[in-house]
Amino acid sequence: MYPLQFEPILKEHLWGGTKLRDVLGKNIKSETTGESWEVSAVEGDISIVSNGSEKGRSLQDLINENPEALMGKQVHERFGYEFPILIKFIDAKLDLSIQLHPNDELAKARHNSFGKTEMWYVMDADPGAQLIVGFNRDVGREECIKSLEDNTLLELLNYEPVSEGNTFFINTGKIHAIGAGVLLAEIQQTSDVTYRVYDFNRRDKNGQLRELHTDLAIDAIDYRKKDDFKVSYPTNKNEVNQMVDCPYFKTNFLNLDQELHQDLSERDTFTIYMCVSGKATVSNGHGTASLEKGQTVLLPAASRSVQIDTTGAKLLEVTI
């Protein structure tokens, strides 16, 4: 039950770029890598341990072997043997498609999947980079359908300029897209269900238009304008600063320039640390993992304490 690290699962996309390699140091030769899945139990993309005595084993194997020790009793009772969140870094050299995700009920009925609530932490943004989050006014269902037919959807959307440290909470049903020039950390429910509604009429490497999911999306969209997505959070040094607390995950911001020790004896959940700046080592009494910007570690729920040593690092701390 030492701190576990995993081999990145790299995803090629027509909108991907080189920041996962050039900024985060991933071992990538491609010029169009869009995603690095850091901790995943999505079927077909299950993380493999890269460090220590469990090296080469899958995250799912470890869960099946001892679910409460790895995930926590309350997490196991709630999710069984399914790891409930997916951790990624995303590099958008080009605009991503306009999309949204269904809620738990719809995703279960249609895809036998969790829904997909997610959050973004912006790590790097080119000048003028922006995100699309929600509508710029309340929109009717028929109006939205007509805008898709008329190729005018972009006129209805809300654009948010971004810079490093900006954080966004994307609940299910909210239309959204990551804009060109943005590198971010993403924390989400374990789900790969996405409804793409607009893709700038782009074609894939085979010259084909990418599939849209408009019919499925229409019943899943939240058509109301809501200013509930921008996350304001404290950045106090050497403290645990709350960012997001939702039913699917909890995320804190650690802005450290010295050692931090936490008692985890009452924390009945795994803990994931994503390094978004600087360097640190994470120890739990059973082992130590080194983190640099763009690296991730999973602390099993059986850990009774954690010590983070650094002279300068920013970490996202994720639990259930």
pLDDT at 210: 84
Q: Are 276 and 177 members of one domain?
A: no
Task: Report yes or no: 68 and 301 within 8 Å, Cβ to Cβ.
Answer: yes
The whole domain housing 258 covers 240-319
Residue 203 confidence class, pLDDT cut points 50, 70, 90: confident
- 65 is a domain residue: yes
Domain assignment present for residue 229? The answer is no
Mean pLDDT of 206-235: 93
Mean pLDDT of 255-263: 97
Q: What is the pLDDT of residues 18-41, one digit of tens each?
A: 999 999 999 999 999 999 999 999
How many CA atoms lie less than 13 Å away from 317 in the CB half-sphere? 22
211 appears as a binding residue in the annotation:
no
DSSP result, 61-106? HHHHH-HHHHH-HHHHHHHTTS--EEEEEEEESSPPPEEE---HHH
pLDDT at 247: 94
- 213 belongs to an annotated ligand binding site: no
Q: Which residues are catalytic?
A: 196
- Residues 211, 271, single domain; the answer is no
Q: pLDDT category, 202, cuts 50, 70, 90?
A: confident
**Per-residue pLDDT tens digits for 303-315:** 999 999 999 999 9
As a three-state string, the secondary structure of 149-162 is HHCCHHHHEEEEEC
Q: Do 257 and 163 share a structural domain?
A: no
Q: What average pLDDT score do residues 57-81 get?
A: 97
Question: What pLDDT is attached to residue 16?
Answer: 97
CATH number at residue 138: 2.60.120.10
Q: What pLDDT score was predicted for residue 95?
A: 96
Residue 204 has pLDDT above 80, yes or no: no
Which of 166, 183, 218 is a domain's end point?
218
Residue 234 lies in a domain: no
Position 148 in a domain: yes
Any domain includes 3: no
Asked if 28 contacts 50 with a C-beta cutoff of 8 angstroms, the reply is no
146 located within any domain = yes
**Cβ(63)–Cβ(83) below 8 Å:** yes
Q: Are residues 187 and 257 in the same domain?
A: no
Q: Confirm whether pTM is higher than 0.85.
A: yes
Q: Of the candidates 183, 218, 253, which is a domain's last residue?
A: 218
52, 97: one domain: yes
Tell me: do 196 and 272 sit in the same domain. Answer: no
One domain, residues 146 and 213: yes
Residue after which a domain boundary falls, among 186, 218, 250? 218
Same domain, 275 and 150: no
Same domain, 265 and 137: no
Is 231 within the bounds of a domain? no
Mean pLDDT, residues 79-99: 97
Q: Say how many CA atoms lie within 13 Å of 283 toward its Cβ.
A: 11
Q: What is the mean pLDDT of residues 176-202?
A: 94
Predicted confidence (pLDDT) per residue in 108-160, tens digit: 999 988 899 999 999 999 999 999 999 999 999 999 999 999 999 999 999 99
Asked if residue 209 has pLDDT above 90, the reply is: no
- Taking residues 239-244, what's their average pLDDT? 98
Whether residues 67 and 206 share a domain: the answer is: yes
Q: How many domains does the chain have?
A: 2
Mean pLDDT of the chain: 96
Rg (CA), the chain: 19
